[in-house]
């Protein structure tokens, strides 16, 4: 059992919301774990059964899929996916790249930038751009990555969603996406409007002390609980336990607040200049007015 559709990203562009609404559709079976990231692994030779295990139980579904935002920027994923699933349908959600980069920064900040050593976590957005330039900027180079995928797959296999529409026209977004992957497009999920302040604006520390506490606790839980648990019972089972305990939500209530500090005008202008050509190319590719991204 392999999927017949895959979400490629981008990070911080509404993919978690899309994942939830796809899971609600009665004709769709989604991999239990968002971010399987199988096709970005160093080697997948002889391991396809590991990937198939994500879709056990989906035999009777009209559509079977997963979402892994690392696929968008991966140089390995396109050819690998083409090899195993040549007719797969692909979708991507794009957000104003400046807002996407800044939101991605705060997302990684909450996760200590995936560093075991917390002293390596940047202390500011500006420092993060210097230390983790590729991590933050590469996912926002949408045109570059879409072109890479379109050299492997036919353009009819790629559906592009805009985060602005996820926020402003969720019903239309879902109807078009459902139709693209071949399921009943008239279905309206019960939670279609479940987009609270934290979902729209992200989260950031309530203060310096709360930020340090969140960083320390996140580090301890991952080192001493979650990572060892995954080794014993597997990623899927560990994710189920984590979701059921609602650890992330509890930590956010204790230490974080909705929204981010305002990005400086100088930094926004610097990013705008850096991404101007990319934005123009995406606008031309999609025939969409993206002047508000500038």
Where do the domains of the chain lie? Answer: 5-97+137-195+274-293
Q: Report yes or no: 241 and 229 within 8 Å, Cβ to Cβ.
A: yes
Q: Which element (helix H / strand E) includes 253?
A: helix 247-255
pLDDT at residue 94 tops 90 = yes
Q: What pLDDT was estimated at residue 201? A: 57
Query: Rounded to whole angstroms, how far apart are CA atoms 134 and 214?
Result: 25
pTM of the model: 0.83
* Prior bond of 10 cis (ω within 30°): yes
* Prior bond of 40 cis (ω within 30°): no
Closest CA to 11 of 102, 84, 125: 102
Give the pLDDT band of residue 217 (cuts 50, 70, 90): confident
Distance, first Cα to last Cα, the chain: 43
DSSP state for residue 154 in the 8-state scheme: -
- Packing angle of the helix pair 142-150, 265-286 (nearest 10 deg): 30
The domain 5-97+137-195+274-293 having CATH identifier 3.40.50.300: the answer here is: yes
Ranking 32-41, 223-232, 261-270 by mean pLDDT, the lowest is 223-232
Tell me the three state secondary structure of residue 131: helix
Tell me the three state secondary structure of residue 204: strand
Q: Report yes or no: 149 and 90 within 8 Å, Cβ to Cβ.
A: yes
């Amino acid at each position: 059992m392999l999927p017949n559709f895959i979400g490629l990203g981008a990070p911080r562009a509404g993919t978690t919301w899309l994942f939830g609404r796809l899971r609600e559709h009665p004709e769709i079976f989604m991999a239990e774990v968002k971010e399987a990231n199988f096709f970005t692994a160093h080697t997948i030779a002889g391991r396809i059964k590991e990937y198939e295990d994500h879709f056990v139980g989906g035999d009777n579904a009209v559509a079977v899929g997963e979402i892994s935002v690392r696929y968008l920027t991966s140089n390995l994923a396109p050819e690998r996916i083409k090899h195993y699933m040549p007719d797969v349908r692909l979708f991507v959600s794009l957000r104003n790249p400046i807002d996407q980069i800044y939101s991605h920064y705060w997302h990684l900040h909450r996760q200590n930038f995936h560093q075991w050593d917390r002293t390596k976590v940047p202390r500011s957005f500006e420092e993060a751009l210097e230390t983790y330039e590729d991590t933050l900027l590469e996912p926002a180079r949408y045109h570059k990555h879409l072109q890479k995928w379109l050299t492997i797959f036919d353009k009819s296999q790629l559906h592009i969603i805009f985060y602005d529409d996820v926020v402003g026209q969720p019903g239309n977004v879902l109807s078009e996406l459902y139709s693209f992957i071949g399921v009943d497009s008239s279905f309206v999920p019960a939670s279609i409007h479940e987009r609270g302040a934290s979902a729209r604006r992200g989260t950031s520390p309530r203060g310096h002390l709360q930020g340090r506490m969140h960083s320390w606790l996140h580090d301890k839980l991952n080192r001493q609980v979650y990572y060892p648990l995954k080794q014993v019972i597997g990623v899927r089972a560990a994710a189920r336990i984590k979701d059921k305990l609602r650890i992330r939500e509890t930590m956010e209530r204790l230490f974080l607040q909705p929204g981010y500090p305002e990005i400086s005008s100088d930094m926004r202008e610097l990013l705008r200049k850096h991404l101007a050509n990319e934005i123009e190319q995406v606008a031309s590719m999609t025939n969409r007015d993206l002047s508000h991204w500038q």
